[in-house]
Structure 1
Amino acid sequence: MTRVRKFEHSLLFLLWWPLTLLTSCGLDQETNVETGDREQILYFGNADEPQEIDPHVTSGIPDFQIQHALFEGLVAKHPKTLAIEPGVAESWSLSDDLKTYTFHLHHNARWSNGEPVTARDFVYSWQRALMPAMGNTYAYMLYYLKNAEAYFNGDITDFSQVGVKAMDDFTLVVELTSPTPFFLQLLDHHSYFPVHRATIEKFGAMDERGTRWTRPGNFVGNGPFVLKEWALNRVISVVKSPRYWDANQVRLQEVRFYPIQNRSTEERMFRAGQLHITEDIPNDKIADYRREHPAITNITPWLGTYFYRFNTTIKPLDDVRVRRALALSINREQIVKAAAKGGQIPAYTFTPSDTNGYTARARLDYDLDAAKRLLAEAGFPDGKGFPELELMFNTNEEHRQVATVVQEMWKQALNIKISLSNLDWKVYLDKESRLDYQISRAGWIGDFLDPIN
């Protein structure tokens, strides 16, 4: 069971090795890719600087890529079939009423400092993930545990009433509120990852955010890799952990994550042999890669939706007629053809069609007549009197292109003016969490294969 599989879940990623033969000939200096192939170092384009690597405070893909190298949950998923495989737990059983799981942990599971990973570590970590002061946006993922939601809301204060118990060092019993067919899928999500108690409390309180426990030299994790370097906005390097329970199956010696916001820059680095994998390329080059280098171009659908978020606490976005008018005036087919260009599917429902057999009935179609009528009913006929709004997005060329297309659509269809605001990833997340925005770019990626999430 190899852990390099955890880096194979990209929407659009390019595998480097065949292209190396096309671009590295005649270069006197060895490229990163050539060095990496020889020394088993993976050079990975990570799109942006992570918000954090603490699994109980993050919500973004740049963070998740790194967390999957540094931590491991009770189970893992096969990258192609999504079949559940052992992680820290070597086996498990389910009660006849389908509400109680008993997990048996690997006796040789170790933290990167050599200490054993125990069932009590999971109890501690899940309690931490549910503490309101953590501000964990994924706390709801643990609500399937008996009394977890009540604990998070403060209705109960005794965590022993929550459905997770360490029977001994290597036996964890989890009681659910009701039968949950997809529960095992949740356990590979970062909100369920364990953290090292002594390290957490060495640098702050149990529920304190932003302490230095996640920095090189301080960090202790239980994954196949351990943190070596974090040079802000330059590189995050993780190296193979010799204490990982399945270390013999990990061939990579190191992974270097590069936070490259500009897609054109990342694509140039890929062509120059500085990256093994890029998860994105500029939209205007997708057709060229598909035509000229099909063997190294992999475009696969994600269980995800790209959307805009309205701040309903401010006017005029507190009016459902305004929000609906804005939604109905977006031509999604045109966005896919003019801006996205990567085979994306227009989204008329929030949940992607045929998600584990489910397709939503409610739709938001393209309907200009209805959009104009609703805007007029809200007091803005032909856009008259409508205040200028700001559309916020994190730095990314695709986000800018889509925003520019939508900006023009709203101007032409509704005669309203929208300004664009391009922000660094961390600033963007902070403003969004504080509701300090009007319209914000957002994305939802399924955390498990079920429409309920």
Structure 2
Amino acid sequence: MKKRLSIFFSMLLVLSMFLAACGGGDSADGDKDKKGDGGANPDVPQEFRVNIKTEPYSLHPGLANDSVSSNVLYQTFEGLTRIDKNGEPQPAMAEEITKSDDLTKYTFKIREDAKWTNGDPVTAHDFVYAWKWALDPKNESQYAYQLYYIKGAQAANEGKGSLDAVGVKAIDDKTLEVTLENPTPYFLELTAFYTYFPVNSKIAEKNPKWHTDAGDQYTSNGPFKMVEWSHSDKIILEKNENYWDADAVKLEKIEMYMINEPNTELSMFDNGDLDWAGKPFGELPTDVLPQLKDEGKLHVEPIASTYWYKFQTEKTPLNNVNIRKALAYAINRKAIVENITQGGEIPAMAAVPPSMFKENEKGYFKDHDVKKAKEFLAKGLKELGLKDVSELPPITLSYNTDEAHQKVAQAIQDMWKKDLGIEVTLDNAEWNVYIDKLHTGDFMIGRMGWLGDFNDPINFLELYREKNGGNNNTFWENAEFKKLLIDSQKERDPEKRLQMLKDAEEIFIDEMPVAPIYFYTNTWVQKDNLKDAVMSGLGEVQLKWAYFE
């Protein structure tokens, strides 16, 4: 995931891009290697070794909801479209895409040579099965809301409508028809996202646990296939000989280790045991970033992603907006990015990254505004009927086990104690345990980051549209905010639509269900002869084109 890209266009440019890039009859072989060897050195093993830190949450496209899982899925699966080296969606599993004039109906012609790793043909039925499976409320897909652009999808997922009424159907084995609720200019980018990946329906219907281990049952349709999954140890991928564009794939093998220790990861890289160390796969020790930068070894790439603390707004005292704002305003973000993370991150006083809203480089409030924080605290205490901070119910700040998250949490714990007199207890857990706690609301303040799924501001706001939405662990909801998001999806004027999203973000920041902390960068080191590991502006890496010179 790594070629430098200038991404994030204005909405008009995004719209024109989609109209031009994926019209009916477009060829999908624009990404194919015309020379045949891609510069790969036949004397150099085409084997890529990387650390992904921890066990993936799930390798089912309909259940995955985290970067660890996506780092595997983007190598093993493929959607109707794929984001190419230039950051644009191109036909992938679909060889031909046509759209209705009003942009509410899409017809995808599935490739005749599209196959699963076991040799089964990829069919339109596999997409219908996968999307409806994710929408079925009994499967508890956290990302089901990403499919709400499809007609009837939200009603089906909320139990208010039938899955049979969802606007996706297989006209025949190789023709998929999708009807949308509203024109969605970024829909062809969405179909490259992992929730929209197909699932081998023949396998999944026979074995609901097909996705839990490597083996004959784990079938995928991307550039690589999984041949080994030693849980909490490593995953091994190999080139998928059944992939339609196998000629473009140069890597023969990918080894993904699960070592949640940044210093060990860097040592393995220095010793030649890894070809890549750092984000988005793993993590570099924060204290070595300045040295690596001085040595000219560090790669730094701004990405559309926000690091924030989520407030469980149904738990006292975080059910009080002024207490939440007091905690958010008291954070010294500049100190955190300069002294702890040290990766060129931008302090965040907004939710949407500046690559989408330029004005968010400044944000909605002043960083480390202790005076204002104390005013909010006093107001919040009064509303709760408390005399002072000593009467506040205990507050716990949770994070998943990681050196950088720990340092940030400790720094913010100190800030809240020093500037507000609020005692906060820290709590950490391994990733799978931690993410389950957040999903069930079993936390008070929880660290999370949001990596953009597609290039549109709504992706950072729609998380909080519904109180019980898939990734809304805050349980916050606001009627005006929700209406602005819904109405924005019907607005044809790009400038008016963007203003509606800005208005929604202003409401969001004013009620502060999360405290934004910084906008991410990806920081990593890599072997000098590794080429074309393509990183998008959203931060994910595709290894389809990667090779060693």
Same fold (TM over 0.5): yes
User: What does residue range 366-405 of structure 1 map to in structure 2 within 5 Å?
Assistant: 366-379=368-381, 383-405=389-411
Which residue is equivalent to 2:319? Answer: 318
**Counterpart position of 1:332:** 333
Do the aligned residues in 1 keep the contact of 2:97 with 2:107 (CA within 8 Å)?
A: yes
Looking at structure 2, the residues matched to 164 and 315 of structure 1 have their Cα atoms a distance apart, in angstroms, of: 43
Matched, 1:167 2:171: yes
Structure 2 partner of 1:282: 285
Aligned partner of 1:92 among 71, 94, 97: 97
8 Å contact 2:125–2:201 — kept in the other structure?
no
1:199 partner letter: I
Distance 1:360 1:104 in 2: 42
Q: Deviations over 1:291-341 (max 9, x none)?
A: 11x2x4210011000000111121111111111110011111111112111
Residues 102, 171 of structure 1: 8 Å contact kept: yes
Measure, in 2, the Cα distance between the counterparts of 1:361 and 1:340.
Answer: 19
Q: Does 1:151 align with 2:181?
A: no
* Structure 1 position 386, deviation (Å): 2.2
How far apart are the structure 1 equivalents of 2:393 and 2:4?
39
User: 1:382: how far off?
Assistant: 5.5
**CA distance in structure 2 between the aligned counterparts of 1:385 and 1:356, rounded to whole angstroms:** 40
What is residue 29 of structure 1 aligned with on the other side?
none
2:193 to 185, 189, 193: 189
Paired position in structure 2 for 1:207: none
Instruction: State the match for 1:8 in structure 2.
Output: 2
Deviation, structure 1 residue 358: 7.5
Q: Is the 8 A contact 2:318 2:324 kept in 1?
A: yes
Instruction: Verify: 1:214 aligned to 2:212, yes or no.
Output: yes
Matches within 5 A, 1:62-211: 62-79=68-85, 81-157=86-162, 159-204=163-208, 211=209
1:432 to 435, 438, 456: 438
SS at match of 2:344: coil
Matched, 1:54 2:60: yes
One-letter amino acid of the counterpart of residue 206, structure 2: K
Q: CA deviation at 1:195?
A: 0.7
Residues 48, 255 of structure 2: 8 Å contact kept: yes
CA distance in 1, matches of 2:451, 2:251: 27
Shift of 1:439: 0.9
Question: What are the ranges of 5 or more consecutive residues in structure 2 without an aligned counterpart?
Answer: 6-41, 460-549
Corresponding residue of 2:229: 230
Question: 1:150 is matched by which residue type in structure 2?
Answer: A
Work out whether 1:41 is the aligned partner of 2:47.
Answer: yes
Paired with 1:274 and 1:389, the residues of 2 have a C-alpha distance of 42
Deviation (angstroms), 1:214: 3.2
Give the residue type in structure 2 aligned to 1:216.
Answer: A
Partner of 1:300: 301
Return the letter of the residue paired with 2:214: P
Distance 2:362 2:152 in 1: 32
Offset of residue 377 of structure 1: 2.1
How well do the aligned residues superpose, as a CA RMSD in angstroms?
2.1
| Change over 3 Å in CA distance of 1:304–1:68 after alignment to 2 | same
Q: CA deviation at 1:257?
A: 0.8
Report SS of the residue matched to 2:236.
strand
Identity across matched positions, percent: 38
Q: What is residue 30 of structure 1 aligned with on the other side?
A: none
- Secondary structure (helix, strand or coil) at the match of 2:205 reads helix
1:400-422 CA deviation, whole Å, 9 max, x = no partner? 11111101000001111112112
Matches within 5 A, 1:20-35: none
TM-score normalised to the size of structure 1? 0.87
Per the normalisation by structure 2, the TM-score is 0.72
Give yes or no for contact 1:382–1:415 (8 Å, CA) kept in 2.
no
Q: Amino acid of the residue matched to residue 83 of structure 1?
A: E
Residue correspondences, number? 414
Alignment partner of 2:302: what SS? coil
**One-letter code of the match for 1:113?**
N
- 1:348-368 deviation per Cα after TM superposition (whole angstroms, max 9, x unaligned): 000012407675997243321
Question: Displacement of 1:237 after TM fit?
Answer: 0.7
CA deviations 1:372-423 (Å, max 9, x no partner) are 1221222256623223321111111110111111010000011111121121
Q: Secondary structure at the match of 1:303?
A: strand
For the pair 1:258 / 2:249, whether they are aligned, the reply is no
Check the 8 A contact 2:304/2:355 in 1, yes or no: no
CA deviations 1:36-87 (Å, max 9, x no partner) are: 98331110121222111011112110100001111110000024x3111221
Work out the CA distance in 2 between the residues paired with 1:382 and 1:332.
26
8 A contact 1:388–1:416 mirrored in 2: no
How far apart, in 2, do the equivalents of 1:381 and 1:354 lie?
43
Structure 2 counterpart of 1:302, one-letter code = I
CA offset digits 1:406-452 (Å, max 9, x no partner): 01000001111112112100000111111111111011111000111
- Give the gaps of 5 or more residues in structure 1: 1-6, 12-35, 205-210
Find the aligned partners of 1:330 and 1:269 in 2 and give their Cα distance.
35
1:160 deviation in Å? 3.4
AA at the equivalent of 1:233: S
Q: Tell me which residue corresponds to 1:422.
A: 428
